[in-house]
A and B are shown apart, each in its own frame.
Chain A
């Protein structure tokens, strides 16, 4: 039966609907003659306040509003990968094809998962008549892209005995592939199902994140590593490198599925991904990056109301691919815009504001969001482990990290990549400040590095970090007395720190070689820099001045610094030559 109410007030994206029979909180309501999509955000008696996801321009009091009975949900099934959706999962490329307009026109309704595509479905052992199945059981597989074997799973709310099943063949997502019976109730299982975005998908058990998410970014992998299933934030004033870092993460990380949420940011940044990813190759598989990427775009000029939803749409899709047993990376640029959308909606509802106008539930919303990350044993058989890593950009007004979104976010994340405007001004990118940033995963990921890359990784990493910390202290002294008046060992520390900063921490995301550094190259670079440190320190102890050392090996040091963009990942033997040259020249100083 149709549930219908009537619009009685319109103020921006907030529409008041009266007399809608038994409205539910977060129910999707279609507003006005054009049936614009909205969500119930408050109920007072027979009055529902609806947040509309499109421009409400032109709507009049008295127009109808229809309850759908469903909370805001996403479609989950094959065909998501490679697409770009808006904040409520409408497919933007197909909207472009259908409307033939370069603008997003209002009121367009298109399905997220294509209905007209047939996928080759291969049933698994589980899909047999009489077999008992439950949530998460893999009943078949579809090759969604050459990279993604899309596991077709029994949806979270279905269990019972298989009473009918299809064989291998080509099906659309609407075709039933099995019927499952439970206590006399027969349900069709399709390749696609829906899930409410504000509810996290169930899993069996949360595990500690122990594996690093390798990103190819040296300062991240080495100093402030991310773990698969971990959480991180990257705060920074405008122009400090949040987006470029998130793009780099999306490009180079060893995650199998990447969800990129452009939340209240620039249209061109989504375009950049759309143009670049199909032509760039994932370094781990050699396949085009688009074959593992899903984009969600609510750009800054798209309706603010859908901005809030975009985050949930993204994380729900991420959980779905996690359930298949994949490592998923979700990046959100920027969570501040999401928080501002919350603030705006809250303001329209005339709720009592807390700090800087944000609603008091900002913290709990942030907590809930980051809590949906994690490395988990998923439901169903076969047993599998999947992960969702979440990294959110934070855009503090005026670059002030004491503002509410930054401070609250800090409580729920374990990696903090603090971007520094003064580094960005001098074009030291990535402008991640190595004094104020941190990662709680260093200990956890150390054994992976020791086992897979180099036994010494941890001590190399710590030594590099210590030299940088020491440099920071020395800088204070230099500010008072000038560098020339430091002791020779301290001068050497400054020199080594310079090489680390210029040659290791600095990384140009747009340089073909520099953009992605393999774990092996990272270790090799640390070793050569630290080798210089060790030998030079001995020389200094024996009375050789740093000036003399520099004069002797200046050209080699310059080559070491440039090795970030001159020596490619598969040419590491060049470091051996470089190191021989270095050692030889230094030894000449020892007489």
Chain B
């Protein structure tokens, strides 16, 4: 948008939820940014959602509470929503619209960027393939994360997703490279104590120096939530593609984002989709999640780890459902495991990393990685079936082999899944534990593993002593 002048009106005709209908306007652009000044001098940001001859519909991010049709000034700013970006934003804390709130100096823009970004040309992308070791067995071994991936945590209220995200942020390394990730953290409508947890964590680990934190807390206006992740990703894109950094973006909690989206949609009286969420929520979420990846000719990358809490722990709820359709897998936390005291309570069967295949194998992790992972999946899911069966028919009606599967499942959960918050396992340790527990099963059950790897890594052959 070329025009840089702004125009001011005091012609609000209607206020409905977060929306204002302004009359008698001219030369207003679609998507233009708006500043609303209440009679008391309070200033708020908004944007144009619809514009016609002589009218505009404006969405006010910071809420319409206290806005009166008379006495309120509406200024059309002649540009779309932009933020200044700069490397100096690392180490700083901002509000949900990207304004510093840590008492530090204003940001001197190296560049100004539209927060909506632009779609990455698929022909310009480079497929992510660099293994990130998180030190967490359930992830590294069976749902491997790679640099440039978007991999969300699907959690539930009260489950330790923040802990897990923090552990990953602390431990994530690309082996053979000294370089640490820059972290962009966006709190989207989360509670103060959760935000504090992250902040403390960043401070204690020293990560704060290479982290930019954007905070929109639960008690702050909901409409800002629609902007916060975009502000954070705009900075991430700048750091990755102009400043050659590897950026890890943590967004928490996307459920709050989606609720804000639903609110604005119902205020606009749009035809609701499933459970009242708008039909365009898929595309809207994609405009956030797709801002991750690697591109050709640039050194930096954006790895995204969005966190969302599944309403009623239901993975088919539209928020996790649409997310899973867009992201490159998901790490699912499980209340049952959590209640049994297992940390991290990752439900591996429901979890998935779609980019795992390119990140593992010889030269990246280990030659047996793919087969071991496939076998662990096959065996653990077989064991789950048998667990259910044993409840009905009794363990004694199971065959000897089937009973071994039950022992395998227990060992899997106790030895492989479970680990400490500070326990950082190398991929070799993870795979070796995998072999250890697989050796509970008869060798003929290992139908997903090539013979050469059995000979090379199976404890029976490795130690030389046959059972």
Residues of B within 8 A of A (CB): 1, 26-32, 49-53, 80, 116-128, 241, 270-274, 279-280, 282-283, 286-287, 290-291, 293, 295-298, 316-318, 321-322, 324-326, 328-330, 349-350, 352, 354-355, 357, 370, 374, 377-378, 381-382, 389, 392-394, 397-399, 402, 442, 444, 446-447, 450-451
Contact = CB atoms under 8 A, between A and B. Distances in A.
17 contacts: A11-B51, A60-B30, A61-B52, A61-B53, A84-B122, A95-B123, A101-B118, A238-B321, A264-B286, A267-B120, A268-B125, A270-B122, A275-B127, A356-B274, A398-B317, A481-B397, A484-B399
A61 B447 CA distance: 66
A209 B80 CA distance: 54
A275 B377 CA distance: 29
Contacts of A120: none
A356 B450 CA distance: 48
A397 B321 contact: yes
A398 B287 CA distance: 21
B357 A510 contact: yes
Contacts of A507: none
A268 B147 CA distance: 13
B274 A397 contact: yes
B123 A96 contact: yes
A347 B329 contact: no
A162 interface: no
A65 to B, nearest CB: 14
B329 A239 contact: yes
A304 B271 contact: no
Given A102-B241, A484-B398, A557 B444 contact: yes
Contacts of A56: 30-31
A480 B392 contact: yes
Given A301-B119, A426-B382, A343 B279 contact: yes
Contacts, number: 226
Given A300-B290, A484-B397, A95 B1 contact: no
Interface string A85-121: 0000000110110000111111000000000000000
A544 interface: no
A347 B122 contact: no
Contact of A300 (B27, B126, B282): B282
B56 to A, nearest CB: 9
A344 B280 contact: yes
A59 interface: yes
Contacts of B392: 479-480, 482
Contacts of A159: none
Contact of A399 (B280, B316, B442): B316
Contacts of A60: 27-30, 51
Nearest to A350: B271
A102 B296 contact: yes
A479 B295 CA distance: 51
B347 to A, nearest CB: 9
Interface of A: 8-12, 16, 55-62, 84, 92-93, 95-96, 101-106, 237-239, 262, 264, 266-268, 270-272, 274-275, 297, 299-302, 304, 337, 340, 343-344, 347, 353, 356-357, 395, 397-400, 425-428, 478-485, 502-503, 508, 510, 554-555, 557-558, 561-562, 565-566
Given A357-B271, A425-B350, A95 B318 contact: no
Interface centre among B26, B49, B51 (most CB of A within 10 A): B51
A250 to B, nearest CB: 15
A558 B444 CA distance: 6
A102 B287 CA distance: 16
B376 to A, nearest CB: 9
- Lowest 8 CB-CB distances: which A-B pairs, in order? A426-B381, A482-B397, A300-B286, A398-B316, A482-B393, A103-B118, A301-B290, A9-B52
Contacts of B120: 102-104, 267, 301
A11 B50 contact: yes
Interface centre among A96, A397, A554 (most CB of B within 10 A): A397
Nearest to A15: B30
B282 A426 contact: no
Contact of B122 (A8, A62, A274, A502): A274
Interface centre among B32, B52, B271 (most CB of A within 10 A): B271
Contact of B30 (A59, A274, A337): A59
B277 to A, nearest CB: 10
Contacts of A555: 444
A332 B135 CA distance: 38
A57 B30 contact: yes
Contacts of B26: 62
A337 B322 CA distance: 11
A301 B121 CA distance: 10
Interface centre among B53, B241, B442 (most CB of A within 10 A): B53
A558 B449 CA distance: 10
Interface centre among B29, B53, B124, B382 (most CB of A within 10 A): B124
Contact of A9 (B51, B293, B329, B393): B51
A343 B122 CA distance: 25
Contacts of B53: 8-9, 61-62
A543 B295 CA distance: 65
Nearest to B27: A60
A554 B442 CA distance: 10
A102 B290 contact: no
Contacts of B325: 238, 395
A478 B298 CA distance: 57
Contacts of A482: 389, 392-394, 397-398
Contacts of A238: 321, 324-325
A268 B293 CA distance: 8
B211 to A, nearest CB: 25
